[in-house]
Amino acid sequence: MKLKTLAAALALMATGSAAFATTTAIFPTGPDDSIHIGASFKSQSAATTDLYTFSITAPAIFNGSLTSTALGKLDYDFTSIVLDGPGAYDFVFAHTGPDNMEKVEIGDTLLKTGSYTLRVLGKVDGTSGGSWGGDVNLVAVPVPEPETYALLAGGLGALGFLARRRRAD
C-alpha cells in the first residue's frame, strides 16, 4: 500500500504544473530510509508549496540536501524550508556559485518519535518554469545493548576499586 501511495505521489510530482503544488511522500517507518524529492513547474512567477509527510516510530537522525539550478529560462528560488512536527526546524539555504544555484544543506537533526511535514516553499522565477530536487534521509539512532551498559558499569566499578585501594596505601 505504501509503495502505491509513493508511486502516486511521484507521478503527481512529475506532472504538476500548477502554481500551488502539494505533494506527499510517505517514508516507511523502518530505520535507514531515504527518498528523492523534488518538483517541476511550467508556470511563470508562481509561488509554490510542496509538502512531504512522514512518521517515525523510533528516534532518528534527519539529514539531506536540496538544490535548484537556473538553466536558461528555467529558474526556481527557495523561500523557506521548514520541518514541522514534535519541535520545529528551519533550514538555512544559500547561493553557491554565480547566483544560478541554490543549495539547502540539512545537517543532522535528531527527531523524536512522531509525525512530521517537510515544507518546501519557493517561487518560480524562470520564464519557462523551474524545478528543484534533492535527497533526504532518516538514519536510525544507535541504541546500546544491555551488555554495553554492563561493561561500562563493570569498568567504572573497577576504576573505583583501584582508586580506593590506591588511597588506602
pLDDT in tens, 50-96: 998 888 888 888 888 899 888 888 888 888 888 888 876 777 666 66
The mean per-residue pLDDT over the stretch 113-142 comes to 86
Which residues, in sequence order, are bridge partners of residue 102? 68, 95
pLDDT band at 10 (very low <50, low <70, confident <90, very high): very low
pLDDT in tens, 33-54: 788 888 888 877 788 889 988 8
User: C-alpha grid cell for residue 122?
Assistant: 519557493
Rounded to an integer, what distance in angstroms lies between the CA atom of residue 36 and that of residue 118? Answer: 13
Amino acid of residue 106: I
Domain ranges in the chain? 2-143
CATH of domain 2-143: 2.60.120.1310
User: C-alpha grid cell for residue 117?
Assistant: 511535514
Contact 117, 53 (CB under 8 A): yes
Helix H or strand E encompassing 114: strand 114-124
User: Three-class SS of residue 101?
Assistant: strand
Statement: the pTM of the whole predicted model exceeds 0.85: no
User: C-alpha grid cell for residue 7?
Assistant: 508511486
pLDDT in tens, 128-151: 888 899 998 888 887 777 787 788
Helix H or strand E encompassing 52: strand 47-56
Rounded to an integer, what distance in angstroms lies between the CA atom of residue 57 and that of residue 40? Answer: 31
Residue 122 pLDDT > 80: yes
pLDDT band at 25 (very low <50, low <70, confident <90, very high): low
What is the phi/psi pair of residue 70, to 5°? Answer: -80, 130
